[in-house]
């Protein structure tokens, strides 16, 4: 694993999200107060992380095991856990499986407790084979441009435009664009990595999750952290998210159900059959069972609140760690 570190003291493990790498935490590492040691690795298949494949049948278990191995190698027992998006799911998996290793938990726009794509409010799948989630839901145009190393803004699906239109609420809000774009371009592609494989489905939209790669690892077929409240972890938990998030929200622009309702995916069977996944409400409902959890909404912020408003996020984080 490639790891960035800063400071000395009580360890804070920062876990990045999908199509990203540990460099995205650079400002937060620099803002940590004295007495804290920041650790920001690149997960396998991202940035300078190793090329090991992702076995999606384990959910995010491969990522979790990598982080536990890293902590063991560094001689660290309990740490503060900070996870963004996919990394939020990894953090919750780690805290569920190894509850004693979490001092505190900070979730930033985390993947839903029922996985990503194709579930109703209570987490039940819209179809029996979890169609509309997994590797087949990736935009093939974006995958092609990542493979080509496209750094332009000529194509609406280019990595640069993904940063401007999905990662941030407006192009004017973007900060450190090149770091975020390089995180996308650094993703390893293929069935074993991003986006993963898929299988045909008789249900709309015609594809179901496979067994390999990143998007299948967070498919509700293989992944979920809805059992966290009963897992025995009592670490104080802070959930931070923006109300203009286009990737993890109740109307996400990367959710097949919502895209179908908007007419971008043909043949949508309707709200009764395949609604948009209410990701924020799902997270709120599950965390309501955790007396140690609290929510902080950042008005106007998108999917990367810590990169969009770093000082504001750092103040929230540091107060949570100190408390």
Match domain 3-127+217-322 to its CATH number in 3.40.50.300, 3.40.50.720, 3.40.50.1820, 3.60.15.10. Answer: 3.40.50.1820
CA gap 184, 174 in Å, rounded: 15
The confidence band for 323, taking pLDDT boundaries of 50, 70 and 90, is confident
User: How many residues in the chain?
Assistant: 323
Q: Give residue 140's pLDDT.
A: 95
Global pTM value? 0.97
Q: pLDDT digits over 266-302, tens only? A: 999 999 999 999 999 999 999 999 999 999 999 999 9
Inform me whether the pLDDT recorded for 253 exceeds 90. yes
Query: Are 21 and 183 within 8 A, CB to CB?
Result: yes
Structural contact between residues 195 and 140, judged by C-beta atoms closer than 8 angstroms: no
Query: What whole-number distance in Å separates Cα of residue 80 and Cα of residue 11?
Result: 6
Rounded mean pLDDT, 67-74: 98
Q: What is the mean pLDDT of the chain?
A: 97
**pLDDT (average), residues 110-134:** 98
Give every CB contact of residue 281 below 8 A, 6+ residues apart in sequence: 121, 250
- Cα gap 322→316, rounded to integer Å: 10
pLDDT computed for residue 19 by the predictor: 98
How much is the average pLDDT of 220-226? 98
The Cα 210–Cα 54 span in angstroms is 12
250/261 Cα distance (integer angstroms): 13
pLDDT over threshold 90, residue 212: yes
Please state whether beta strands 35-41 and 3-6 pair in parallel, antiparallel, or not at all (unpaired): antiparallel
What value does the mean pLDDT take over residues 218-235? 98
Q: Could you give the strand order of the β-sheet that contains 293-298, starting from the edge strand earlier in sequence? A: 3-6, 35-41, 9-15, 79-84, 102-108, 237-242, 293-298
% the chain with pLDDT above 70? 100
In sequence order, the β-bridge partners of residue 237 are: 105, 293
């Amino acid at each position: 694993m490639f790891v960035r570190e800063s400071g000395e003291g009580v360890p804070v493990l920062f876990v990045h999200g999908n199509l990203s790498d540990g460099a995205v935490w650079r400002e937060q590492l620099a803002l940590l107060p004295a007495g804290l040691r920041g650790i920001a690795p690149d997960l396998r298949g991202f940035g300078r992380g190793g090329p090991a494949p992702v076995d999606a049948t384990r959910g995010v278990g491969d990522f979790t095991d990598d982080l536990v191995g890293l902590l063991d190698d560094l001689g660290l027992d309990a740490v503060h856990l900070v996870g963004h998006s996919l990394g939020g799911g990894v953090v919750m998996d780690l805290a569920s499986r190894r509850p004693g290793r979490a001092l505190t938990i900070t979730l930033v726009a985390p993947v839903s407790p029922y996985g990503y794509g194709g579930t109703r409010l209570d987490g039940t799948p819209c179809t029996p084979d979890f169609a509309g989630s997994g590797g087949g839901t990736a935009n093939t145009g974006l995958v092609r441009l990542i493979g080509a190393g496209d750094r332009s803004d000529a194509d609406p699906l280019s990595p640069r435009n993904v940063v401007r239109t999905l990662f941030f609420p407006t192009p004017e809000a973007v900060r450190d664009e090149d770091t975020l774009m390089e995180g996308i371009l650094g993703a390893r592609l293929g069935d074993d990595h991003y986006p993963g494989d898929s299988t045909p489905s008789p249900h709309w939209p015609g594809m179901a999750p496979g067994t390999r790669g990143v998007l299948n690892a967070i498919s509700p077929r293989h992944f979920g952290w809805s059992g966290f409240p009963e897992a025995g972890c009592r670490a104080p938990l802070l959930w931070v998210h923006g109300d203009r998030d286009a990737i993890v929200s109740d109307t996400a622009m990367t959710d097949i159900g919502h895209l179908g309702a908007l007419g971008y995916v043909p043949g949508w069977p309707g709200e009764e059959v395949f609604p948009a996944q209410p990701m924020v409400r799902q997270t709120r409902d599950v965390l309501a069972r955790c007396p140690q959890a609290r929510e902080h909404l950042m008005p106007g912020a998108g999917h990367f609140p810590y990169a969009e408003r770093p000082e504001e996020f750092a103040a929230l984080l540091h107060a949570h760690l100190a408390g």
